[in-house]
Structure 1
Amino acid sequence: MEGSESQIYHERQRLQFCLLHSLNNLFQDKNAFTRESLNSIAENLVTDDPNKETWTTTHPLSFFLKPHHNTVTGNYDVNVMMAALEGKGKSVVWHDKRRGASSIDLDSDALMGIVMNVPVKRYGGLWRSRHWVVVRKISGVWYNLDSDLLVPKPFKDEDEVRVFLDQNLSLGSEVLLVNNA
């Protein structure tokens, strides 16, 4: 396993584009999604929203802060992620956190990877937000492809993956299973 991380595609965090980085890390392709493609998906979601007038006319910062993303820093929401993945022929299933990680079939051929939305506190807890993280099996090894990491972190086995997922679930993370549709 030594040196195998160099063969893994891993985008690092920039601004609040963690969803962009997570999706590209999930697909192992730097061109799977671009800022422009995610912005377009977000804008299409607004266009299709029957309540769009309420948002665009009443919110004073609606030029920058859109219903599904921030046009300057990124910070895309789950709707953008789901639409992006469905556009690539994937299906997304919310994992029932009450069942824990032991109920996830990590050996399933249908499972492409796992996307988590984790709560984060920065600057001594003054700033609270959420962060997208991907866990994926590549060449038989599960990896944490978090864009905040310097390099992908391999898990030693599926038990370690489940412990990691359960720890994150207990901290308020959402777990979404990405399946090959």
Structure 2
Amino acid sequence: MDSEKTKIYHEKQKLQFCLLHALNNLFQQQEAFTRARLNEISGKLVLDDPSKKTWTPLSIVFKPHHNAFTGNYDINVLIAALEEKDKTVVWHDRRNAASTIDLDGADDSLFGIVLNVPARRYALLWKGRHWITMRKIGGVWYNLDSDLPKPMPFEGTREVRGYLDYVLSNGGEVLLVMNNKE
């Protein structure tokens, strides 16, 4: 099934807002989250932190959970944002192969997958991490990486698992986004 036939929402990369793009791609909705909302979540995390850092002039830009100008949100913002949408994050144990992930569960408990991978940008001068979403849509798994020109379908679960194993073996993290059971 081609992404042209199945309507798939796919945000493209801007600055370091890959977590924003990953969340909107995950929920298949343009403003499932906004930059303002992620900044609010980040600010609330700072207020709720019992070991608050001391403020410095650099705190205006370099906040504990994101960069005020470029984005670059951390895992805490991801988890809090997903909790707002009644989702939970399960960190996949990297000691286990991707074959241990139930990609075809009949109970629909797996909503999607978010990856955090090492990345080099800006003529390989900047080294950081990048958020990527994978989601099953219309029975097909897609790589919804905001750096890709369009959503990339996987041939099947074997290819998905191969990609996840590649991510794990290259320093990436696999985060399973689960639907909360009522």
TM-score by length of 1: 0.94
CA RMSD of aligned residues (A): 1.3
- Residue identity (%): 62
Q: CA deviation at 1:4?
A: 3.3
Structure 1 residue 157 corresponds to structure 2 residue 156: yes
Partner of 2:12: 12
Displacement over 6 Å in runs of 4+: none
Find the aligned partners of 1:120 and 1:104 in 2 and give their Cα distance: 24
Structure 1 residue 168 corresponds to structure 2 residue 167: yes
> Residues 85 and 5 of structure 1: is their aligned pair in 2 closer, same or farther, counting only changes over 3 Å?
farther
Per-residue CA deviations over 1:139-168 (Å, capped at 9, x if unaligned) read: 000000000000000001000000000001
> Residues 147 and 111 of structure 1: is their aligned pair in 2 closer, same or farther, counting only changes over 3 Å?
same
| 8 Å Cα contact 1:18/1:133 also seen in 2 | yes
Find the aligned partners of 1:5 and 1:119 in 2 and give their Cα distance: 32
Q: CA deviation at 1:50?
A: 1.5
Higher helix share: 1
Find the aligned partners of 1:155 and 1:7 in 2 and give their Cα distance: 16
Partner of 1:33: 33
Q: CA deviation at 1:5?
A: 6.0
Find the aligned partners of 2:123 and 2:37 in 1 and give their Cα distance: 34
Q: How many residues align?
A: 178
Partner of 1:127: 126
